[in-house]
Structure 1
């Protein structure tokens, strides 16, 4: 069995946390959203990932109401985009230094705190998703300067990076990086070298799309016959195999699968206790990796 906990931002957290994006599906059932988050905490979740642009502030509001200081939950947020109600996409890029500063202030206000323990800078240099254009093309050094200043002010505890390249991570290391969030899964391992660099540097690797692409045309873990065969042999769901593989693959991997369903939440957390032997792990490792570096929008 893999270790159930790992170090993150000077804390020890359960390796399977909760990505709060899916709470926006409960926008018209606020009490259910609060109950689901409380249930996650009762199950031991102590790492929650969020952003002001999730549900146009709804998700942060739920977190503020549901979580209590005594819960000891590490709430990680992100900047680099802002809510865009009524737009073709539900968010707009906000990469300029003054926008990053404003986004930090927005998260502080909506979460009702005076310090954000970890803030991810969403760079959008790689992986599926939008690409910056025009005045949204901003140098990493300029962005790190404002993030570091906010950390020095005490408004940020630690800095993370998201959708960053290997070169970008290397350039950012002197600033002190706590985590990297990139698209990564059993079927899309483009960033293997970056994961290994993070492991060597003591940086948490927190993959989004841990079961493959959420966009059409991108590979999915649960469509692999080998994954289904392993799941049947272990008596678990294919999605649980995909999550368990990530935890076995490297000790610095932390997961933040999201859901709006209590049973699905419990299944995700149970994946942290699945044991995969060396032979089975090798079989899964042999699955072909396909690129997910696809611009969207």
Structure 2
């Protein structure tokens, strides 16, 4: 078994002028700890101990529960204000959807400018912040996931106008985008986009051209579903024989290989894997210490990208 250094967050990357750990923490799965708030808070503390200073959240995660746990866990680190000065945990949130507990899926889109503003206000309140360092506008240009219909089909310029106004008002520090197309990113560049969150993994690389634009524009690339397979019908990184071969050779797990490949693929990649389990958290962070040699990288690069047949 190859010797891997102790878990750490894999160095730092630039996120709109903020130095964030390349392996952050996606907080969505904290909702699973709804019945054990102390465990959720302990997990967030453990993330910091492992070197994580970047937490990704949204008001619609657990209908405010997750944001409340983050507020309580990091109250001292954030000081109840903007944590973007590098002295504490950098909390990134997103807008563009809202809970829909009685719906076919637990979310519905909230794309209108008034809904975006209201969501930022809700995030500020639940997080206990005066300003959120980065807020991602979650569109519906790319899947998998919801598609906009009716009054939820909103022009990008109208959305960016309210996001820019919120930035000018000091309520958000910077603007990110999520679930967007290449054309949308190109149109949004003048607004000053600092990150893009799209579904992307070793086995689902349809956004390679969009990723190249992010590299060229110094925009952080924050892939969600980094191991694929988040829904039935979607390809899974851990099903690829090449991933298993690399994991066996290095004495690590296939999931860690999938995360490590993303970090090696482009220097602007920032990961936000989520979990509700401390051991899984440590394993995710340890992926930042894995070094892939050129031959292993070439074998992984050759893995075929597949779209799957998932439909919401």
Q: TM-score range by the shorter chain?
A: over 0.9
Tell me, yes or no, if the aligned pair for 1:187 and 1:288 is still in contact at 8 Å. yes
Q: Which residue of 2 aligns with 1:44?
A: 51
Q: Flag the 1:292–1:155 CA change in 2: closer, same or farther, 3 A.
A: farther
3-state SS of 2:58 partner:
coil
Q: Flag the 1:3–1:66 CA change in 2: closer, same or farther, 3 A.
A: closer
Using the TM superposition, name which of 80-89 and 119-128 deviates more. Answer: 80-89
Gap regions ≥5 residues in structure 2: 79-86
Tell me, yes or no, if the aligned pair for 2:24 and 2:273 is still in contact at 8 Å. yes
1:17 equivalent to 2:24? Answer yes
Equivalent residue for 1:8, pick from 4, 12, 15: 15
Q: Flag the 1:292–1:180 CA change in 2: closer, same or farther, 3 A.
A: farther
* Residues in 2 aligned to 1:293 and 1:256: alpha-carbon distance in whole angstroms: 25
RMSD, matched Cα: 1.5
TM-score w.r.t. structure 1 length? 0.97
* Residues in 2 aligned to 1:77 and 1:255: alpha-carbon distance in whole angstroms: 15
3-state SS of 2:133 partner:
strand
1:69 equivalent to 2:77? Answer yes
* Aligned pairs for 1:1-297 within 5 A: 4-67=11-74, 68-69=76-77, 72-291=88-307, 294-296=310-312
The C-alpha deviation readout for 1:157-184, integer Å capped at 9, x for no partner, is: 0000000000000000000001000000
Tell me, yes or no, if the aligned pair for 1:83 and 1:92 is still in contact at 8 Å. yes
TM-score w.r.t. structure 2 length? 0.92
**Deviation for aligned residue 1:100:** 0.4
Equivalent residue pairs, number? 296
* Residues in 2 aligned to 1:109 and 1:92: alpha-carbon distance in whole angstroms: 21
3-state SS of 2:175 partner:
strand
Tell me, yes or no, if the aligned pair for 1:131 and 1:295 is still in contact at 8 Å. no
The C-alpha deviation readout for 1:163-212, integer Å capped at 9, x for no partner, is: 00000000000000010000000000000011111011000000000001
3-state SS of 1:119 partner:
strand
Tell me, yes or no, if the aligned pair for 1:130 and 1:295 is still in contact at 8 Å. no
Gap regions ≥5 residues in structure 1: none
Tell me, yes or no, if the aligned pair for 2:10 and 2:285 is still in contact at 8 Å. no
**Deviation for aligned residue 1:294:** 4.8
3-state SS of 2:134 partner:
strand
**Deviation for aligned residue 1:295:** 4.4
Tell me, yes or no, if the aligned pair for 2:137 and 2:176 is still in contact at 8 Å. yes
Tell me, yes or no, if the aligned pair for 1:127 and 1:294 is still in contact at 8 Å. no
* Residues in 1 aligned to 2:309 and 2:289: alpha-carbon distance in whole angstroms: 31
